[in-house]
A and B are shown apart, each in its own frame.
Chain A
């Protein structure tokens, strides 16, 4: 649905995106991940036809964004990093204007705006001037604007930036609810956002592709150990010694009042460990998996630079 093929963008001497390629299948949500100035916004601007690429191709649906810009733009909704809102319009007026320039037929505009308002939860503010509504609502108007013409492809640049935690959760669940009908790319530098909402991820740094693939594939590729963090009431060295006796356990170490247990991937020792702790009455208080996920990969890539 979205294909980026050997894309390069130069601003004078500065190369913002270098030879970037990735693909997103229909109906999926993918995250574009990278530190600040990695080239996320530039990539999105090229995909939306706002900026032309120096080299390479990008296509949305079956339309090349350079060769058939109008067709591509018709099936594309875009939330830029800076919200493109007219402060002197009411929410409804604004969405009607957007629907009109996105080629929604006049007869269907009212319905389209009504739907976008409903989906994004803007009913209570739809008659107010945009300059008078709160930041959270503005962000939702931005998303409503991207959705109003029911595009096949949504490109969201930092959709949850500047929101409070409750609003972030709302916007995330809104984005998740769009999965299936819409193909979505969202950029972010907030890691949990990717693990919670996305099917796949493209990690870029300094304009280069560092890794891309589905979340499972990527995390599997770096998961060479499985582990648990355990907290017991009686923090005795006995507990560590007993756990160490379980077949398959590689390492047990105590840290911050917790025990970190690791074993080889492919095994599942959780049952055994719990049984042991309960039978020996160590007083199991807490048990959680050691995070071995996209965050590790990301940190490795971004801080390590050349490691892949």
Chain B
């Protein structure tokens, strides 16, 4: 565990001494802020109209009308930005030759992988945590429910963790950071829309495609549903990504 933290600390230092982490966090916050502002403006206009009518007035729901679309937008931004956070993790070690230091040190490959994973998770936490400041406005001028919001954030975190694990896997495949980012981006997008194919699929395939796609599971979480199926899905996806990374690194050395 100590070794994992040593590697994580080193990665965090690299993230924050180079501009990578700042740029990713700032751009993420600017985009999320922009989406939040626009959704909130739309919600205000909508709420004004709905207040005219007794029935519609009872239907106004800030969780559903603001947070649900906001979480969906945030997930897309994460899909675009997290590959940039993970692309260098193993590619760079390979390119500049520092992998020789890591693999000749008395720490295991698992500890190295986990250390890098933890560092990226912490940057993800910072990204998500800072967007929490936006909710000050929601709570100051409205009364959203807390639990579904937290559930949505949990969903974003789990989704992000899975993205990061997949990104780490692609980073271990190549010493070129751009290639690593593009492969990650392509894979994530494919996973995202995989359930589109379920429309034309039949039988068990339909269920499989739906299960494997990010979308279904994420929708549940933004709607405030906390289902262990979804949690298990993301956790196992993250685990699978890290496991593949381990296999790639080991097999490359044994070849």
Contacts and interface: CB of A to CB of B under 8 A. Distances in A.
A277 interface: no
Interface stretch (A32-40, A95-103, A227-235): A95-103
Interface string B106-136: 1110000000000000000000000000000
Q: Which of B10, B18, B108, B254 neighbours the largest number of chain A CB atoms within 10 Å of its CB?
A: B10
Nearest to A86: B98
A42 interface: no
Interface of B: 3, 6-7, 10, 13-14, 17-18, 96-108, 253-255
B254 A50 contact: no
Contact of A85 (B3, B96, B103, B254): B96
A145 B100 CA distance: 12
Given A51-B253, A52-B253, A86-B14, A70 B106 contact: yes
Given A52-B253, A87-B96, A102 B14 contact: no
Contacts, number: 69
Given A71-B106, A88-B14, 10 more contacts: A50-B253, A52-B253, A83-B97, A84-B98, A87-B96, A101-B3, A101-B106, A101-B107, A102-B105, A145-B101
9 contacts: A50-B100, A73-B104, A80-B100, A84-B100, A93-B13, A101-B7, A101-B102, A101-B105, A103-B106
Interface in A64-85: 69-71, 73-74, 76, 78, 80, 82-85
A52 B6 contact: no
B7 A80 contact: no
A98 B98 CA distance: 11
Q: Which of A50, A89, A145 neighbours the largest number of chain B CB atoms within 10 Å of its CB?
A: A50
Nearest to A75: B106
Nearest to A84: B101
Contacts of B98: 84-86
A48 interface: yes
A59 B3 CA distance: 25
A71 to B, nearest CB: 8
Interface string A9-45: 0010000000000000000000000000000000001
B121 to A, nearest CB: 20
A100 B105 CA distance: 10
Contacts of B3: 101
The 7 closest A-B pairs by CB, nearest first: A82-B97, A84-B101, A73-B106, A80-B100, A48-B104, A84-B98, A100-B6
Contacts of B17: 88-89
B1 to A, nearest CB: 13
A98 B18 CA distance: 20
Given A51-B253, A73-B104, A80 B97 contact: yes
Contacts of A51: 253
Contacts of A48: 104
A52 B255 CA distance: 9
Given A51-B253, A52-B253, A88-B18, A102 B100 contact: no
Contacts of A82: 96-97, 100
A49 interface: yes
A69 B107 CA distance: 10
Interface in A93-134: 93, 97-98, 100-103
A62 to B, nearest CB: 16
